[in-house]
Amino acid sequence: MEQLDVLLKSAAPFRMAPDDFISKITGLSRRVTFNAGDVVYKIGDPARNIYIVASGSVRHSLGDASQSHNPDRTMRSGDVFGWASVLEGSRRHLATTTCLERTEVVVIDGESMINLFRKFPAIGNAVMGGFAAMIRQDFSLPKEAEHVYRIANQEIIQGEKETAVLTGFGLMMYRVSEWLKSPKPYLMMIGFTLFLGFWYLTVEVWKLPRFQDMPGLTTVVSEYLSRDPIYGMSIYTPEYYQHIWVSIRRVAIAFLLATALGVPLGLFLGWSRTFREYVFPIFELLRPIPILAWVPLAILMFSGSETPVIFLTFLASFFATALNTMLGVESIDESYTRAAACLGASRWQVFKEVIVPGSLPFVFTGLQISVGVAWFSLVAGEMVSGQYGLGYVINTSYTMVRYPTIIIGMVTLGVVGYVTSAMVRVLGDYLMQWRVREESIGGR
């Protein structure tokens, strides 16, 4: 390490920075020598540079206006001054600095340092945190310490809509690359390999007693990928996509209907006590009835094969959504509604500005559950009635002894179910930026 790097590393704010980063900072620096009695800067001068004493000593006097307990300090080798250049807002020096002897200082341009930090926000914020701690402790100026420039923050503030999208995409790419660097994807691969290996060995190699009748891994894969499937369904047959499409359409209709009715019902249940007294007991009585128990009634009530299935799918989703939304309204801290009332919001405004956004986290938990149970009850419905759909495929494949097709149907359900629930989660994150950002900072 070079001499300059060693000096920088000994300075309080930079202690946290890794060595290769220190040399990046020293790359921005220059050395300046002052004579005894020279004034480096005065109070009110524009603050551009950070100074680190290399040799000699400097008198650092904060103005009378400052509320520091020790306004006068003597800075020696490794001490840092000129930190006003890393504060937010208009940067003006808060102290007058006078050299007490022949003094050599290292000068770093504050703006270029912050620009460097922007490229390495994690390290940058650590160094800025070091500055804040130093200002608070060594200079006993807690107020100023609060205003040390925060990298990530400022980026968000400066970025208008355009860059916000860009950072969103950049953030995603960053997360993907971090994920690839972590052991997670490789552990996941091992998990899959073990699972598939178990299937392959038990069914096809060892042919264990209860497993021998099951469709084997290679049979299923070759059937799945075959242009001319033995049992009539693979990724090359249009039928396969027709079944998927029909199932997705049913789930989508049921889910949208359940959301459109369940969210408002939940909001009103949580919001109006009177409404709740009327409706909630009925709701609580109907909710525990298993979806399968509704099948006969659904077939009696609705004609054709399509509407009963959609009704069954809707029902399960609807209860999950409404109940979670109601819990969401109840979860809102009373002080939020009181604060809104204090600030002059009418009852309707409280509903719009507090109740709705405040319950969103629970609403989206409800919607994720809702998509899950939608698929669950869809398959139940399709097994009983209907002529298309993945549940229908699984059921008829069983009666027609097309066992590999059962597995194809199941795998497809797993993938489609996962994708739909991921879509709900992404939509939730998009609508609740405040939560995403809170979490990325580590919560309250």
Partner 1 sequence: MSAVLETLDDRLIVPSNAARGGAIQIDDVVKIYDPDGAAVMAVDHCTLDIPAGEICMIVGPSGCGKTTLLNAIAGFHSITSGTIRMDGEVLCSPEKPKADPGADRIVVFQNGALFPWKTNLENVAFGPLMQGKMGKKEIYEKARSMMADAGLSGTEHNYPGEVSSGLRRRVEIVRALMNEPKVLLFDEPYRALDSLTRSVMHEALLDIYYKNKVTIFFITHDLEEAIFLGHRLVIMTSRPCRPKKILEVDIPHPRDYSVLTSPRFREILEETSDAVHEEARKSFAAGEKEG
Our CB check for partner 1 shows the closer of 238 and 442 to be 442
Sheet order of strands, 95-99 included: 39-41, 95-99, 58-62, 72-75
* Listed residue (284, 299, 260, 443) closest to 380, CA to CA: 299
Strand partners, 105: 32, 53
Binding of partner 1 by 147 (CB under 8 A): yes
Q: What part of residues 182-241 is at the interface with partner 1 (CB under 8 A)?
A: none
Q: What part of residues 58-87 is at the interface with partner 1 (CB under 8 A)?
A: 67
Place of tokens 């060594």: 138
Our CB check for partner 1 shows the closer of 300 and 348 to be 348
Angle formed by the axes of helices 19-26 and 110-119, to 10°?
Answer: 140
Q: Compute the distance between CA of residue 223 and CA of residue 334 in angstroms, rounded to an integer.
A: 59
The binder of partner 1 chosen from 343, 411, 426, 427 (CB under 8 A): 343
Which of the stretches 103-111, 213-221, 352-360, 418-426 binds partner 1 when contact is defined by CB under 8 A? 352-360
Our CB check for partner 1 shows the closer of 133 and 410 to be 133
- Least spacing, CB of residue 66 vs partner 1, in Å: 12
Binding of partner 1 by 331 (CB under 8 A): no
Which of the stretches 245-253, 276-284, 357-365, 419-427 binds partner 1 when contact is defined by CB under 8 A? 357-365
The binder of partner 1 chosen from 349, 411, 418, 419 (CB under 8 A): 349
Binding of partner 1 by 444 (CB under 8 A): yes
Tokens at residue 380, please? 């139940």
* Listed residue (105, 13, 89) closest to 46, CA to CA: 89
Binding of partner 1 by 156 (CB under 8 A): yes
Place of tokens 């019902």: 265
361's CB contacts (< 8 A; 6+ apart) are: 328, 432, 435
Q: Compute the distance between CA of residue 353 and CA of residue 347 in angstroms, rounded to an integer.
A: 10
The binder of partner 1 chosen from 336, 376, 398, 403 (CB under 8 A): 336
**Phi/psi of residue 63, each to 5°?**
-70, 170
Binding of partner 1 by 114 (CB under 8 A): no
Q: Compute the distance between CA of residue 225 and CA of residue 411 in angstroms, rounded to an integer.
A: 13
The binder of partner 1 chosen from 338, 400, 415, 418 (CB under 8 A): 338
Binding site for partner 1 (CB under 8 A): 67, 88-89, 142-143, 146-147, 153-154, 156-157, 333, 335-336, 338-346, 349, 353-354, 357-358, 360, 432-435, 437-438, 441, 443-444
